[in-house]
Amino acid sequence: MIVLSEKDIRSILTMETAIGVVADTMQAVSRGEATLPLRQIMPVGGPNMLGLMPGAMQTPGCFGVKLVCLFPENPAHGYSSHQGAMVLFETQHGAAVAMMNAGRLTAVRTAAASAVATRALAREDSSVLAIVGTGEQAEFHLEAMLAVRPIRAVRVVGRRPERAEAFVTLARGHHPDVAFEWSTDVRTAVDGADIVCTVTAASEPVLFGAWVAPGTHLNVVGASVPSKTEIDQDLVVGSALFADYRPSIFAQAGELIGAIEAGRIGREHVLAEIGEVLAGGHPGRTDAGQITLYRSLGIAAQDLACAHFCYEAARKRGLGVDAPLD
């Protein structure tokens, strides 16, 4: 077995690479080529949670489990909000072949999944991006959106002015050709935006259907348990809704569950998995004025595929630390 650090993952798994890996993976998932038990979540004090995400894939042939802690306040102390380990097994004898940093892996694959959905669903001329949230996923989603659409202006919204301003100051240094602005007002920031990414730890809606203009594409990412919702039911009802994985969205997307229980929509409101769109089984966006919504819950197949890619690349490049278990 080899152990791969955050530094190793950073050197191997670029955003562009992850976007390609995740795009292939989501098609495999929609073809039924993965076994994906629902994520188990355990509270570990305050807003902090431990997640258990097992899974298996036919291509690449592997299985494994991610043990990941979500500590929302970590970035304020200089740590990633996601901490943990990904353990990868080979299929011939069931041996553990790699353990790797799960924080970087999760951050990159989550944003890459949004990029895959954006490339499939957002208008090709989308140039104005609004990011609601200023944490780690805001940083990675900025990189991901820039990779798939010609973004010229970015509006960043945060609850804390100092964090929003600091985020924009840093982003300007990395992307001098992009116009950045920050605020604490979500409604103003999303007005006229072509793409909106919500990447918050909010428990109650921060984005409402009445605020979103026709033609917008939404990546709703932050709420990963049914008790949390970043958007209201009106936005769910008024959007063309796409999932990463149907079993996950019906079990864990609180705003969708609420809208179904209220009788406002049925399960058929979820038009397709993003893998079905990529494979041509569903057209995705059908007109320029449609509001498209990608509800990202995150699935173990994304972790497995990215982990397997990192494992094979590390072996070829001689990265990692050997840690035999026998």
Model confidence at 78: pLDDT above 90 = no
Q: For residue 82, what pLDDT is reported?
A: 81
The CATH number of whichever domain residue 309 belongs to comes to 3.30.1780.10
- Compute the average pLDDT of residues 79-94: 92
- Compute the average pLDDT of residues 76-93: 90
For 75-86, b/e burial (b = at least 16 CB within 10 A) is beeeebbbbbbb
Structurally, the chain folds into a number of domains equal to: 2
Q: Which two tokens stand for residue 36?
A: 């994906």
Are residues 168 and 266 both part of a single domain? yes
Closest CA to 153 of 168, 133, 165: 168
- Compute the average pLDDT of residues 69-88: 87
Closest CA to 141 of 205, 218, 51: 218
Q: For residue 325, what pLDDT is reported?
A: 85
Are residues 98 and 159 both part of a single domain? no
Are residues 95 and 142 both part of a single domain? no
Q: For residue 183, what pLDDT is reported?
A: 97
115 falls within a domain: no
Q: In the structure, what pLDDT confidence band is assigned to residue 128 with cuts at 50, 70 and 90?
A: very high
- Compute the average pLDDT of residues 221-229: 91
Which amino acid is present at 326? D
The CATH number of whichever domain residue 220 belongs to comes to 3.40.50.720
Q: For residue 70, what pLDDT is reported?
A: 86
pLDDT tens column, 178-187: 999 999 999 9
Q: In the structure, what pLDDT confidence band is assigned to residue 73 with cuts at 50, 70 and 90?
A: confident
Q: In the structure, what pLDDT confidence band is assigned to residue 152 with cuts at 50, 70 and 90?
A: very high
CB 71 within 8 A of CB 316: no
Are residues 129 and 253 both part of a single domain? yes
Are residues 218 and 291 both part of a single domain? yes
Q: In the structure, what pLDDT confidence band is assigned to residue 18 with cuts at 50, 70 and 90?
A: very high
Q: For residue 40, what pLDDT is reported?
A: 93
Are residues 263 and 143 both part of a single domain? yes
Model confidence at 163: pLDDT above 90 = yes
Residue 116 region, left (φ>0) first, then alpha (ψ -120 to 50), else beta? Answer: alpha
Are residues 179 and 238 both part of a single domain? yes
155 falls within a domain: yes
pLDDT tens column, 39-65: 999 999 988 999 999 999 999 999 999
- Return the HEC string of the chain: CEEECHHHHHHHCCHHHHHHHHHHHHHHHHCCCEECCCCEEEECCCCCEEEEEEEEECCCCEEEEEEEEECCCHHHHCCCCEEEEEEEECCCCCCEEEEEEHHHHHHHHHHHHHHHHHHHHCCCCCCEEEEECCCHHHHHHHHHHHHHCCCCEEEEECCCHHHHHHHHHHHHHHCCCCEEEEECCHHHHHCCCCEEEECCCCCCCCECHHHCCCCCEEEECCCCCCCCCCECHHHHHCCEEEECCHHHHHHHCHHHHHHHHCCCCCHHHEEEEHHHHHCCCCCCCCCCCCCEEEECCCCHHHHHHHHHHHHHHHHHHCCCEECCCC
For residues 231 and 204, give the distance between their C-alpha atoms in angstroms, rounded to a whole number.
8
pLDDT tens column, 304-320: 999 999 999 999 999 99
Range of the domain at 278: 122-298
Q: For the whole model, what pTM was predicted?
A: 0.96
Q: For residue 290, what pLDDT is reported?
A: 98
